[in-house]
Amino acid sequence: MHPLERLVNLVALLLSTRIPVTFQEIREKLPAYSQDDVESAKRMFERDKDALRAAGVPVEVAPVDAWESETGYIIPEDEYYLPEISFTEGEASALVVLAATPAGDDEDAVRALRKLFFGAERSPLAGPGPSVPAVVDEADDPRAAAVANAISRRRCIHFRYKSVTGETSERRLDPYALVWRSGHAYAVGLDRDRGEIRAFRVSRFASDPTEQSESSAPPKGFVAREHVTPRRAEAVGLAPILRAEYESHSQ
């Protein structure tokens, strides 16, 4: 396993837990630390932990029980995540105008505006609201564009999806919204096979989404971004920093 992937997996694990996890639990959950030589695995973990802290990731050590007989590791969410992007209706309208204004050859500026627009409270891709054309660049991500079109047409979509563990399964989704978080687009809607609202990262689609029957309507009070918890996506976003820190600690 590449060292960077090991760091990303460690961040994802420490973010996903509500109580500190011991090194033994980390060894059981992350194969990279499950080697027979415990001391070598511990040294590798300590190097990784130092690299994460140097990159600004708040890895904390805390007792796992009231008697403080053993310590574990955790990354507190309130110290790690940035605040949600939230715009007023007027601010969202201004973003629409900017996104529609030619930016010459500066494609990065267009993409940045589009991602900001996805975070607006009244974004047509962030939940129920006024019928406004979806701001999606098909050249950037045709599958995200297909999801956006299905949302506007109120159609169920079928696609193959690859989970974080590498397993691929067939999915049928009534897409309600397309949310941008940590540089990734997430299709949020009713998973017909599981009977619950789920979020699927578009970059993990293993096939193009195809429209099928009519989609159901979002439930009352539905807020798309509340269903997106991209812990691993947040970790992946740190990749360039983590790579530099790991290399500096390895020298």
Domain shared by 104 and 201, yes or no = yes
36, burial (CB in 10 Å: exposed 0-12, middle 13-18, buried 19+): exposed
Task: Give the tens place of pLDDT for each residue, 25-65.
Answer: 999 999 889 877 889 999 999 999 999 998 888 999 998 87
Tell me, yes or no, whether 149 lies in a domain: yes
Task: Give the tens place of pLDDT for each residue, 90-145.
Answer: 665 565 555 555 545 556 655 665 555 555 444 444 444 333 333 444 335 788 88
Domain shared by 102 and 188, yes or no = yes
Domain shared by 99 and 77, yes or no = no
Tell me, yes or no, whether 225 lies in a domain: no
Domain shared by 215 and 157, yes or no = yes
Domain shared by 117 and 15, yes or no = no
Domain shared by 167 and 103, yes or no = yes
Q: Give the range among 18-27, 50-59, 62-71, 232-241 with minimum mean pLDDT.
A: 232-241
DSSP track, the chain = --HHHHHHHHHHHHHH-SS-B-HHHHHHH-GGG--S-HHHHHHHHHHHHHHHHHTT---EEEESSTT--SEEEE--HHHHSPPPP---HHHHHHHHHHHTS--TT-HHHHHHHHHHHHTSTT-TTSSS---------TTT-HHHHHHHHHHHHTEEEEEEEE-TTS-EEEEEEEEEEEEEETTEEEEEEEETTTTEEEEEEGGGBSS--EEEEEPPPPPTT--GGGG---HHHHHHTTHHHHHHHHHHHH-
Percent of the chain clearing pLDDT 70 (strictly above): 65
Tell me, yes or no, whether 52 lies in a domain: yes
Tell me, yes or no, whether 212 lies in a domain: yes
Round to whole Å and give the CA distance between 119 and 36. Answer: 46
Return the pLDDT at 220: 87
Tell me, yes or no, whether 228 lies in a domain: no
Domain shared by 97 and 129, yes or no = yes
Domain shared by 124 and 38, yes or no = no
Domain shared by 75 and 97, yes or no = no
**In the chain, what is the straight-line distance between the N-terminal and C-terminal CA atoms, in Å?**
19
Domain shared by 53 and 116, yes or no = no
Round to whole Å and give the CA distance between 21 and 49. Answer: 13
Domain shared by 19 and 98, yes or no = no
Report, as an integer, the average pLDDT of 179-195. 84
State the residue for tokens 């627009």: 117
Return the pLDDT at 172: 95
| Mean residue pLDDT across the chain | 76
Return the pLDDT at 223: 83
Domain shared by 39 and 133, yes or no = no
Q: Which pLDDT band holds residue 249 (cuts at 50, 70, 90)?
A: low
State the residue for tokens 């891709």: 125
Tell me, yes or no, whether 215 lies in a domain: yes
Return the pLDDT at 48: 93
Split into its structural domains, the chain has a count of 2
State the residue range of the domain holding 48. Answer: 3-81+239-250
State the residue for tokens 């267009």: 110
Percent of the chain clearing pLDDT 90 (strictly above): 27
Return the pLDDT at 24: 92
